[in-house]
Structure 1
Amino acid sequence: MRRSRFLVFALLAVMAASIFLVLDGCSSDKGRRADSATKGAFSVIDEAYGIIQEKAVYPVEGDRLIEGALRGMADVIGDPYSTYLTEEEAASHRESLAGEKVGIGAEITRSGGRFIIVAPIKGSPAEKAGLQPYDEIVRINREALGGLTLQEVIKKIKGKEGTALEMTIYRPDLNKHLELKVMREVIPVKTVSAELMEERGTKFGYIALTMFGDETAAEWKKATDEMIKGGAEALVIDVRGNPGGYLRAVGEVAGSLLKEGSNFAYMQNAKGQLTPLTVEPSKKFTYDEKLKKMPVILLQDKGSASASEVLSGAIKDLRRGFIIGQVSFGKGTVQDTMELSNGGEMKLSTHKWLTPKETWIHGKGVNVDLVSEQNKLFTEHIRFSTDVYAVGDYHEDIAYAQRILSGLGYHLERNDGYFDETTAVAVHEFRVNEKVSPESIMDRKFFAALRVRIENYRKDKANDTQLQVAIGYMHHLLSK
């Protein structure tokens, strides 16, 4: 039995997020036999299987019946984090936290029944092949995509490294179809990003962790080394939207900040027995002593879950830093993913994890030291639309645009999705300011310009309300 990985996102052309904390390591229970009493209970399942196979007017393959029974057993537990994974699903889960993926490197969305390229990743196979934002994927390997779901399209795009993918795309700007060949390549997945910032004559390191994956600890070491070498006097650690990951990875990150020998969390099994997770001696960090003493501010939000809560819980209970933002998600269980003989896997919550003060945060979250609400333009999901809207129309795409325009300072009298005259005036003004054809409609060009505008807005850290609060508090700490 192998304890494997649980999904944060599957990077191919689109990302899918999940909330999890994963045990590392492996055991060997595969093929364990049930005792005689259990065998008797399972004879009923054998009966039902035989009846369905013999008499059901709707034929079902035997493997699907077995998988249905397995999925049903997991569902009965009533735990949203315990589930049965098919062999294909299990393979996706296993690769989700790897340091690199094989794919084409483009984000795809489904809009109006069409599959649209949102943006190719810089330097990716998609960009090299010439794919552009708003390209519509019409065929893959000469097969039309009509009637498929987004996940089915992604499955067609997936493949082995070095293999070619033929795509027929429709490019609106040219009003023509193009045939492109994209080579699948290994795409590195970076989980840590860092920036040495300077405010009011003080240097500090800003480090964002998007998840705790295979390479997170190594990326964290590199980032902290660079920040300290650059003269950082404090660290702002950002785990907003971080859904979790490996217990091992968060343990190494937490351990680099905490005193050797301290307990950064506890594991509690089904019998209630506690096992401390202790910070072990480490020679990996170049500036280990300085890192352990450096002032730390942690940013979290309601999207910070599981492994990221292990970090914030340790920082809070051990008074290692100051937490700003919002109460975290509140996931206090750990999953163990076990192989089954049919190639599938059973993912089961086998432990609770507790903070250093032995607090179970499940359903409650980790409280912050200072509450700070984020600028709404940072929390709004960026939509992608190819439809056209004008005065008198009503749609959620219009409501989205109204919220964004209002947040950017344009005057609107409503944001309920009805395209009124004040919305038309704001749209026209926005298009003129962004050097888009001066019309009073929402179309592909308008939504593309809106996307660029909000992305640029978010890149400016001066607009990040929570970060600015953290910077202000950091100066307060350093001035003591």
Structure 2
Amino acid sequence: MRRSRFFVFALLAVIATGVFLVLDGCSADKGKSADRAMKEAFPVISEAYGVIQENTVYPVEGDRLIEGALRGMADVIGDPYSTYLSEEEAASHRESLAGEKVGIGAEITRSGGKYIIVAPVKGSPAEKAGLLPYDEIVRINGEALGGMTLQDVVKKIRGKEGTAVEMTIYRPDLNKHLELKVLRDVIPVKTVSAELMENRGKKFGYIALTMFGDETAAEWKKATDAMISGGAEALIIDVRGNPGGYLRAVEKVAGSLLQDDTIYAYMQDAKGQLTPLVVEPSEEFTFDEKLKKLPVVLLQDKGSASASEVLSGALKDLRRGFIIGQVSFGKGTVQDTMELSNGGEMKLSTHKWLTPKETWIHGKGVEVDLESIQDKLFTEHIRFSTDVYAAGDYHEDIAYGQRLLAGLGYSLDRDDGYFDESTALAVHAFRVDAGVSAESIMDRKFFTALQEKVESYRKDKANDIQLQVAIGYIHHLLSE
């Protein structure tokens, strides 16, 4: 049985290989008691298995019954982060933090019962094969998709590197079906993006971390080296929406900003015993020493969780950085994964993690030094719709459109999803401004234009309220 330590994503249970640690279990007396309880329970479990197999009018495979029992054991703990994952689920979740994936490189969504291409990744096999946004996937390898879940569709598209997947797609703009063959390939997963910014004569590095994955430390080094060589006088670290990831990755990031031998967090076991996590010189990466002296501002929001909270908690407690934004998610537990003989994994919360001041942020989050509420257009999830809505209709897609229109400055009386007269006027005005046919309906062309307008709005950093607050504070720090 292999055990591995890592920080999992909040809400999305992402399983991956982490720092290898063997943890002591319960006491000898408790172990004997547990063994005795298991021996007494096995006959009952076996009996229930047989009863179901022989008598149920709803046929079910034996493996599914076993997996159901395993899920039940994890569920009864009452911990949202303790769970059982099948072999397939565990492999899929491990891939989420991998440095690269094998696939076609396209985001897919389900809208109105249809499976739609949101966007192909630039330079990906999907883009090379000619897939476009709003293409509807009709068949995969000749098989229709009726009755499939989104997970089923994604599973059919995935495969081994170098193999091809044949797709029948419907392209609305051409009103015709097309047959495409896409060659699966390795798709790099980038977790760090950086930009050297200059504002009012001051240079500073802006570095965004979307998660703490396999390659984050290497990407962080590359980004910070570029910022230092470019003459950055301070850093803005953006972990907004970062759900967490590997402990080893956040350790490298924090370690590059803190002095060696600094305690950046604590682990606390079930007995309350604390183990300090200390910054040590990296054998793999040599970071520029200037990093440890640069002023740091960190941006976080309620979507910043787990490993990203380890970073913000360390910077805050050690007064190494100034935190701007909103209180973080609040996930202060650590999970171990144990491989089971059926290929699945049991994930259990076995430890708490505490900040350098020994604060447990679970359910509370890391407090900010300066609160800043973000523009709603930055927090709205972009969604696709292929349906058509007009006055008198009621739907969540309409509410989504109303919220975005209001955020862009159009006047509406409501945003509850009812298509009233004020909505019709706003939709008509937007379509005219966007150069789309002057109608008072929400259709594919409307939603496409709306998405483009919002994405353009988001790309303009002047509209990012929290970032502008951070830039203002950077000027304050550099002027002292």
Q: Indicate the TM-score class for this superposition, using the shorter chain for normalisation.
A: over 0.9
CA distance in 2, matches of 1:424, 1:373: 30
CA distance in 2, matches of 1:121, 1:182: 13
Instruction: Give the Å deviation of 1:19.
Output: 7.0
Compared CA separation, residues 283 and 479, structure 1 to 2 (3 A): farther
Map of 1:333 onto structure 2: 333
Query: What SS is found at the alignment partner of 1:174?
Result: coil
After superposition, residues 461-472 of structure 1 pair within 5 angstroms as: 461-472=461-472
Instruction: Give the Å deviation of 1:390.
Output: 1.4
Instruction: Give the Å deviation of 1:74.
Output: 0.2
**Counterpart code for 1:24:** V
**1:127-164 residue CA offsets vs partner (Å, 9 max, x unmatched):** 00000011100000000001111111111111111110
Instruction: Give the Å deviation of 1:449.
Output: 0.5
CA contact (8 A) 1:245 1:307 kept: yes
Query: What SS is found at the alignment partner of 1:95?
Result: helix
**Counterpart code for 2:135:** D
Instruction: Give the Å deviation of 1:22.
Output: 7.4
Map of 1:226 onto structure 2: 226
Map of 1:363 onto structure 2: 363
After superposition, residues 85-124 of structure 1 pair within 5 angstroms as: 85-124=85-124
Instruction: Give the Å deviation of 1:6.
Output: 7.6
Q: Runs of 5+ in structure 2 lacking a partner? A: 25-30
Map of 1:393 onto structure 2: 393
After superposition, residues 274-285 of structure 1 pair within 5 angstroms as: 274-282=274-282
Moved more, 397-406 or 42-51: 42-51
CA distance in 1, matches of 2:122, 2:110: 21
**Counterpart code for 2:179:** E
**1:275-294 residue CA offsets vs partner (Å, 9 max, x unmatched):** 10000023666553210010
Map of 1:477 onto structure 2: 477
**Counterpart code for 1:404:** L
Map of 2:78 onto structure 1: 78
CA distance in 1, matches of 2:283, 2:86: 41
Compared CA separation, residues 253 and 90, structure 1 to 2 (3 A): same
Compared CA separation, residues 147 and 400, structure 1 to 2 (3 A): same
CA contact (8 A) 1:21 1:333 kept: no
**1:357-399 residue CA offsets vs partner (Å, 9 max, x unmatched):** 1111000000000000000000011121111111222211111
CA contact (8 A) 1:300 1:324 kept: yes
Say yes or no: does 1:350 pair with 2:350. yes
CA distance in 2, matches of 1:144, 1:21: 33
CA contact (8 A) 2:9 2:305 kept: no
Query: What SS is found at the alignment partner of 1:110?
Result: strand
CA distance in 2, matches of 1:122, 1:267: 41
Compared CA separation, residues 20 and 454, structure 1 to 2 (3 A): farther
Query: What SS is found at the alignment partner of 1:244?
Result: coil
Compared CA separation, residues 147 and 6, structure 1 to 2 (3 A): farther
Aligned length: 472
CA distance in 1, matches of 2:16, 2:216: 14
Compared CA separation, residues 55 and 28, structure 1 to 2 (3 A): farther
CA distance in 1, matches of 2:130, 2:40: 61
Instruction: Give the Å deviation of 1:28.
Output: 11
Map of 2:190 onto structure 1: 190
Compared CA separation, residues 83 and 60, structure 1 to 2 (3 A): same
Map of 1:288 onto structure 2: 288
Moved more, 47-56 or 199-208: 47-56
Query: What SS is found at the alignment partner of 1:217?
Result: helix
CA distance in 2, matches of 1:415, 1:18: 32
Compared CA separation, residues 284 and 45, structure 1 to 2 (3 A): closer
Map of 1:132 onto structure 2: 132
CA contact (8 A) 2:256 2:287 kept: no
Instruction: Give the Å deviation of 1:20.
Output: 8.0
Query: What SS is found at the alignment partner of 2:245?
Result: strand
Map of 1:272 onto structure 2: 272
CA contact (8 A) 1:266 1:353 kept: yes
**Counterpart code for 1:278:** V
CA contact (8 A) 1:21 1:335 kept: no
Say yes or no: does 1:25 pair with 2:20. yes
Query: What SS is found at the alignment partner of 1:137?
Result: strand
Instruction: Give the Å deviation of 1:54.
Output: 2.5
CA distance in 2, matches of 1:20, 1:49: 29
Compared CA separation, residues 110 and 374, structure 1 to 2 (3 A): same
CA contact (8 A) 2:8 2:334 kept: no
Q: What is the TM-score with the length of structure 1 in the denominator?
A: 0.94
**RMSD of the TM alignment (CA)?**
2.1
CA contact (8 A) 1:20 1:305 kept: no
CA contact (8 A) 1:21 1:307 kept: no
Compared CA separation, residues 253 and 125, structure 1 to 2 (3 A): same
CA distance in 2, matches of 1:38, 1:149: 37
Map of 1:13 onto structure 2: none
Compared CA separation, residues 335 and 454, structure 1 to 2 (3 A): same
Map of 2:203 onto structure 1: 203
Query: What SS is found at the alignment partner of 2:394?
Result: coil
**Counterpart code for 2:333:** T
Query: What SS is found at the alignment partner of 1:378?
Result: helix
Instruction: Give the Å deviation of 1:60.
Output: 2.1
CA distance in 1, matches of 2:113, 2:58: 30
Query: What SS is found at the alignment partner of 2:422?
Result: helix
CA contact (8 A) 2:7 2:307 kept: no
CA distance in 2, matches of 1:133, 1:17: 26
Compared CA separation, residues 239 and 21, structure 1 to 2 (3 A): farther
Query: What SS is found at the alignment partner of 1:181?
Result: strand
CA distance in 2, matches of 1:214, 1:21: 9
Q: Runs of 5+ in structure 1 lacking a partner? A: 10-15
